[in-house]
């Protein structure tokens, strides 16, 4: 059987081999080589397409096959497939922008679809699966018929019409993408699209001087040893894990540092997500100049979120005595995204007065419905890029309820 002979579902062996080779070039590039999920995603949809099974390339199928989601998982609440596809599109665009790759076969993932397309280099002709039988470069003169007997003035008019039509088409595409882009994607885009790594700055506690270990041969036997421990509050850890999962699913590199070990130089290297408030000095410093910020009395018995436009107001407060005695109270949190003036980098804040507030802030920042509501408010405020949100949640036996937006500010 020759290479030009159809191998399976109308795809020739030569075309299939060319596409496989191009995949390997993409995966070997710096844009894909440091990620496992992005190559797995792209190879899955390419293999399904080459096998003639493109009609079954759906968001749910990818979520189940590639990301191990449950068969009945909620695609609206879990946007991992959409986020990963957007990252693949961005990285492929960066790869093909390099002049060194101009002569290579092009693989693309059209916006709004998970079905890949394959184009001949230079000409950009769709290889037209499953009819493809060659990947040779198509000369430009064979693609576009020559224009003859057109007077210059009509040629100019025709060119103007084409330009206007192109602008209208681009505007329509932009508007469609704007209307269909999820609030989740829109919120995290400034962090995902940057080439800088993201840092997670988390609260830490250095007060523990001993550690209790279990005997390997007799686990019920515990031994107390002197040590110097850095601990993370479990509710802060919950928010950290959720946000790290967003970055990981997008193939975004990130680092994790305790607030005590973080420096201003660290914050200047890229976007930073700050988790926790009263046990994270950086959160308090960065939010102190914002409209909504954290405040407290001298004895730290009353903690609240202050509004700089109403200095005497303290409606969003927590009484530490009630909190410790009953573990049933109303907690408050600040969620924010803004460009910090000192670092010039994007900062995201997920911080509660109490531990439950930080936990619910992390849930808010990773929920598509909550972020869609927030981004809708941002657009109504004039497409502002910086914003703060005050959240409230009911704490019962230490567990937070659903978040409620108490106030917003955009600038």
Q: Does residue 307 sit within a domain?
A: yes
Q: Which of 191, 173, 172 is nearest to 371 (CA)?
A: 191
Are residues 173 and 122 located together in one domain of the fold?
A: no
pLDDT score for 7 = 42
Are residues 13 and 54 located together in one domain of the fold?
A: yes
Q: Residues 267, 270, 275, 281: what is their CA dihedral angle, to the nearest 10 degrees?
A: 10
Are residues 84 and 164 located together in one domain of the fold?
A: no
- Say how far apart CA 214 and CA 88 lie, in whole Å: 45
Q: Does residue 254 sit within a domain?
A: yes
Q: Does residue 399 sit within a domain?
A: yes
- Say how far apart CA 232 and CA 230 lie, in whole Å: 7
pLDDT score for 159 = 63
Are residues 104 and 192 located together in one domain of the fold?
A: no
Tokens coding 176: 């469609």
Q: Does residue 2 sit within a domain?
A: no
- Say how far apart CA 210 and CA 121 lie, in whole Å: 64
pLDDT score for 6 = 36
- Say how far apart CA 334 and CA 361 lie, in whole Å: 7
Are residues 137 and 166 located together in one domain of the fold?
A: no
Are residues 175 and 199 located together in one domain of the fold?
A: no
Are residues 69 and 138 located together in one domain of the fold?
A: yes
For each of the chain's 411 residues, which pLDDT tens digit applies? 333 333 445 578 888 899 999 999 999 998 888 888 899 999 999 999 998 888 889 999 999 999 889 888 888 888 899 989 989 998 998 898 888 888 899 999 998 899 999 887 765 555 554 434 333 333 323 333 444 444 556 556 666 666 555 555 555 444 444 444 578 889 999 999 999 999 999 987 655 566 677 878 888 888 877 765 555 567 788 899 999 999 988 889 999 999 989 999 999 999 999 999 998 999 999 999 999 999 999 999 999 999 999 987 778 999 999 988 888 999 999 999 999 999 999 999 999 998 899 999 999 999 988 999 999 999 999 999 999 999 999 999 878 899 999 999 999
Q: Does residue 70 sit within a domain?
A: yes
Q: List strand residue ranges (DSSP E) for 105-172, in order.
A: 106-108, 117-119
pLDDT score for 294 = 95
* Contact present, 199 and 257 (Cβ < 8 Å): yes
* Contact present, 394 and 377 (Cβ < 8 Å): no
H or E segment to which residue 391 belongs: strand 387-396
Q: Does residue 117 sit within a domain?
A: yes
Q: Does residue 1 sit within a domain?
A: no
pLDDT score for 107 = 93
* Contact present, 358 and 277 (Cβ < 8 Å): yes
- Say how far apart CA 36 and CA 359 lie, in whole Å: 29
- Greatest CA separation found in the chain? 95
Q: Which residue has the tokens 């206007």?
A: 164
- Say how far apart CA 349 and CA 18 lie, in whole Å: 46
Domain that holds residue 163: 154-180
Q: Does residue 3 sit within a domain?
A: no
The domain total for the chain is 3
* Contact present, 243 and 350 (Cβ < 8 Å): yes
- Say how far apart CA 402 and CA 394 lie, in whole Å: 8
Are residues 343 and 396 located together in one domain of the fold?
A: yes
Are residues 272 and 401 located together in one domain of the fold?
A: yes
Are residues 103 and 119 located together in one domain of the fold?
A: yes
Are residues 112 and 162 located together in one domain of the fold?
A: no
The string over 175-197, giving b where at least 16 C-beta atoms fall within 10 Å of a residue's C-beta and e elsewhere, is: eeeeeebbbbbbbbeebbeeeee
Are residues 122 and 223 located together in one domain of the fold?
A: no
């Amino acid at each position: 059987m020759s290479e030009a002979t159809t191998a399976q579902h109308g795809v020739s062996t030569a075309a299939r081999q060319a596409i496989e080779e191009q995949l390997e070039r993409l995966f070997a590039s710096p844009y894909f080589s440091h990620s496992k999920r992005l190559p797995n995603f792209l190879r899955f949809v390419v293999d399904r397409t080459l096998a003639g099974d493109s009609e079954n390339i759906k968001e749910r199928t990818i979520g189940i096959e590639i990301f191990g989601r449950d068969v009945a998982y909620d695609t609206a609440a879990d946007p991992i497939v959409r986020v990963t596809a957007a990252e693949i599109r961005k990285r492929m665009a960066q790869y093909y922008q390099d002049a060194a790759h101009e002569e290579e076969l092009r693989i693309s993932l059209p916006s709004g679809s998970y079905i890949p397309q394959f184009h001949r280099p230079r000409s950009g002709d769709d290889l037209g699966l499953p009819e493809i039988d060659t990947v040779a470069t198509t000369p430009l003169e064979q693609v576009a018929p020559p224009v003859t007997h057109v007077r210059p003035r009509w040629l100019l008019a025709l060119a103007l019409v084409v330009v206007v039509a192109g602008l209208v088409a681009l505007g329509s595409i932009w508007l469609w993408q704007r209307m269909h882009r999820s609030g989740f994607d829109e919120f995290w885009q400034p962090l995902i699209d940057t080439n800088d790594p993201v840092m997670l700055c988390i609260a830490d506690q250095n007060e523990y001087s001993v550690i209790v270990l279990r005997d390997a041969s007799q686990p019920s036997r515990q031994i107390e040893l002197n040590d110097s421990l850095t601990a993370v509050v479990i509710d802060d850890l919950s928010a950290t894990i959720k946000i790290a999962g967003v970055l990981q699913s997008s193939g975004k590199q990130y680092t994790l540092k305790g607030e005590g070990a973080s420096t201003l130089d660290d914050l200047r290297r890229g976007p930073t997500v700050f988790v926790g408030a009263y046990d994270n000095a950086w959160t308090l410093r960065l939010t102190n100049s914002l409209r909504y910020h954290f405040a407290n009395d001298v004895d730290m018995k009353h903690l609240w979120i202050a509004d700089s436009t109403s200095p005497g107001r303290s409606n969003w407060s927590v009484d530490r005595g009630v909190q410790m005695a009953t573990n049933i109270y109303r907690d408050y949190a600040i969620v924010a995204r803004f460009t910090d003036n000192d670092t010039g980098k994007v900062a995201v804040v997920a911080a509660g007065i109490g531990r439950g507030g930080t936990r619910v802030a992390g849930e808010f920042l990773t929920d598509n419905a909550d972020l869609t509501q927030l981004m809708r408010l941002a657009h109504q405020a004039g497409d502002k890029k910086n914003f703060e949100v005050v959240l409230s949640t009911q704490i019962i036996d230490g567990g937070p309820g659903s978040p409620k937006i108490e106030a917003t500010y955009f600038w």
